[in-house]
């Protein structure tokens, strides 16, 4: 049996870093971890081939080779997935689909033969048994949350890992919180389930054996959901694993209560973590209460962010406008918060109602849904009727993005961050790819770009004030180039 594992293309989004990746000649930010893990669950005697169309095109010879196609993706990949499914269907291939996109909307893909939904550790074995005897159903779904200690390591040999900017591993699934707009708990549950420390270390060892020396993303939706296991098992093991090596930088996602635990932050930094994405959402207490973001309420969020930065973790932040409680004043408040906090990578999106969330259910009951979510946080669309005047919301959002990523405020925010940030002991070394990116940045940003004055001013400031952070200053400058590109679509 020849199985083609197919991963759709991401549109040009905030997190694609497509314009920044050109500086280091990479094709995509991250590999399809879920699809590679599913590949490890398939029969060993099946021949397997991965085509990630973010990295290379799907060729006719790929389709001719395949007996069956397994496709997975996220909501933002819907358009590409529909094109790929149509192409595979036209070629007469049996199509098996799974992952968040299909779990949340499989009825949109009538050409798919079989859907293996929810978590594959539960639904895939049953499908494979039925498929082997020619009696596979069209839909396999289960509310069961599997034990991740039985999850196999991904088949990295299927991926051309050096075409990606970062690698990824998963330690846990699930989140203890219950934000109204988020579908994590609906899909993965409230109780964080974890792999064993031995599993994680084995996956990292495998990546190193294959020559990977770059950053690794822990894809957990809330890495600190199980603090006890982190402190007592995983982080001490990662600290030990880093010893005797040049240092592998890690980054992940967490909730703001990380700021309350100095020991946890210290252990994370010592283990090699240097970035963490946190859902801030809004500085408005009414908005936080509305979306059930209780862990963010009644806090000094700017002070929390700076505490995490001083611990050695760069905070990347997620923000939302379009809550029912928002007034036109929210746009200025968001700008003020982001600038004061020094969150350089600040993703601000219009609120969207994702299927499976409490928000989607509430808006459906209220009769306010008007279409499907795109899954793209930066395309300026929303799929429900907002309380704020729609044109006021759109114009305010355009102005917000235009200000945040204009060269002046953006480079000022970098300096605000660099003043607070205490770099970790373990950091990636300056290599030829960084030097290539630096030379490219000097040309693209320092000579051609309209930000050239701000770029050189930042570099000189960093060189004399925080010289050890010079590579980071260059990296953040390159990120800004990408952010301006993707936000210009909606620019004021």
Q: Taking a C-beta distance cutoff of 8 angstroms, is the pair 247, 427 a contact?
A: yes
Instruction: Give the Å distances, CA to CA, from 394 to 71, 124, 399, 401.
Output: 35, 43, 9, 11
How far apart are the C-alpha atoms of 29 and 167, rounded to whole Å?
8
Q: Which two tokens stand for residue 426?
A: 């373990």
How far apart are the C-alpha atoms of 410 and 301, rounded to whole Å?
20
pLDDT, one tens digit per residue, over 122-180 is 999 999 999 999 999 999 999 999 999 999 999 999 999 999 999 999 999 999 999 99
**pLDDT at residue 426 tops 60:** no
Q: Taking a C-beta distance cutoff of 8 angstroms, is the pair 312, 390 a contact?
A: no
Does the model's pTM come out above 0.85? yes
461 phi and psi angles, rounded to 5 deg: -60, -45
Give me the pLDDT at residue 425, please.
65
How far apart are the C-alpha atoms of 351 and 349, rounded to whole Å?
6
Contacts of 304 (CB under 8 A, 6+ apart): 256, 259
Instruction: Give the Å distances, CA to CA, from 205 to 249, 271, 431, 482.
Output: 14, 15, 21, 32
Look up the CATH number of domain 2-20+32-140: 3.40.50.280
Q: Are strands 114-116 and 94-98 parallel, antiparallel or unpaired?
A: parallel
3-class DSSP state of 390? helix
Give me the pLDDT at residue 429, please.
55
Give me the pLDDT at residue 433, please.
74
Give me the pLDDT at residue 369, please.
97
Give, as one character, the DSSP assignment of residue 20. Answer: H
Sequence spans of domains, the chain: 2-20+32-140, 166-420, 432-490
166-420 topology per CATH: TIM Barrel (3.20.20)
Q: Taking a C-beta distance cutoff of 8 angstroms, is the pair 46, 1 a contact?
A: yes
- Concatenating the DSSP letter of every residue in 78-141 gives HHHHHHHHHHHHHTT-EEEEESHHHHHHGGG-TT-SEEE-S-HHHHHHHHHHHHHTT---SEE-
How far apart are the C-alpha atoms of 443 and 436, rounded to whole Å?
11
How far apart are the C-alpha atoms of 441 and 445, rounded to whole Å?
5
- pLDDT, the chain, mean: 95
pLDDT, one tens digit per residue, over 49-71 is 999 999 999 999 999 999 999 99
Percent of the chain with pLDDT over 90: 91
Sorting pLDDT into bands at 50, 70 and 90, what band is 284? very high
User: What's the maximum distance between 2 C-alpha atoms anywhere in the chain?
Assistant: 70
Surface-to-core class of residue 211, CB atoms within 10 Å of its CB (0-12 exposed, 13-18 middle, 19+ buried): exposed
Give me the pLDDT at residue 414, please.
98
Give me the pLDDT at residue 492, please.
40
Sheet with 47-52, edge to edge strand ranges: 47-52, 2-7, 68-72, 94-98, 114-116, 139-140
Q: Taking a C-beta distance cutoff of 8 angstroms, is the pair 79, 11 a contact?
A: yes
């Amino acid at each position: 049996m020849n199985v083609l594992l197919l991963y759709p293309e991401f549109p040009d989004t905030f997190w694609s870093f497509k314009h920044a990746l050109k500086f280091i000649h990479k094709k995509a930010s991250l590999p399809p971890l879920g699809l590679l893990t599913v590949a490890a669950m398939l029969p060993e005697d099946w021949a397997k081939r991965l085509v990630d169309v973010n990295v290379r095109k799907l060729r006719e010879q790929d389709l001719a080779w395949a007996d069956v196609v397994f496709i997975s993706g996220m909501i933002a990949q819907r358009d590409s997935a529909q094109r790929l499914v149509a192409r595979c269907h036209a070629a007469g291939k049996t199509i098996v689909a799974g992952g968040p996109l299909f779990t949340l909307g499989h009825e949109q893909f009538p050409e798919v033969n079989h859907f293996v939904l929810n978590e594959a550790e539960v639904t895939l074995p049953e499908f494979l048994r039925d498929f082997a005897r020619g009696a596979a159903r069209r839909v396999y779904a289960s509310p069961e949350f599997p034990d991740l200690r039985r999850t196999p390591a991904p088949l990295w040999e299927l991926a051309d890992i050096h075409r990606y900017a970062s690698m990824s591993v998963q330690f846990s699934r699930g989140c203890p919180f219950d934000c109204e707009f988020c579908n994590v708990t609906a899909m993965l549950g409230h109780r964080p389930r974890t792999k064993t420390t031995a599993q994680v270390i084995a996956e990292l060892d495998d990546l190193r054996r294959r020559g990977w020396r770059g950053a690794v993303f822990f894809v957990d939706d809330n890495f600190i959901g199980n603090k006890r296991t982190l402190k007592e098992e995983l982080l001490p093991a990662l600290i030990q694993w880093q010893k005797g090596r040049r240092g592998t930088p890690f980054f992940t996602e967490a909730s703001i209560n990380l700021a309350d635990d100095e020991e946890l932050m210290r252990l994370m930094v010592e283990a090699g973590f240097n970035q963490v994405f946190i859902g801030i959402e809004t500085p408005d207490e009414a908005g936080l209460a509305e979306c059930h973001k209780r862990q963010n309420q009644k806090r000094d969020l700017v002070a929390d962010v700076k505490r995490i930065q001083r611990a050695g973790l760069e905070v990347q932040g997620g923000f939302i406008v379009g809550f029912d409680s928002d007034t036109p004043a929210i746009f200025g408040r968001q700008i003020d918060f982001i600038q004061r906090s020094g969150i350089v990578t600040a993703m601000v999106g219009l609120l969207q109602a994702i299927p499976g969330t409490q928000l989607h259910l509430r808006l459906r009951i209220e009769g306010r849904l008007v279409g499907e979510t795109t899954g793209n946080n930066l395309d300026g669309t929303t799929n429900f009727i907002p309380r704020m005047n729609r044109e006021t919301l759109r114009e305010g959002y355009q102005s917000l993005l235009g200000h945040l990523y204009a060269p002046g405020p953006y480079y000022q925010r970098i300096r605000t961050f660099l003043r607070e940030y205490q770099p970790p002991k373990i950091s990636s070394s300056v290599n030829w790819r960084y030097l290539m990116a630096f030379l490219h940045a000097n040309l693209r940003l320092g000579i051609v770009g309209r930000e050239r004055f701000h770029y050189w001013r930042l570099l000189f400031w960093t060189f004399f004030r925080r010289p050890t952070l010079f590579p980071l200053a260059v990296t953040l400058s390159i990120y800004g180039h990408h952010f301006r590109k993707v936000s210009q679509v909606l620019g004021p």
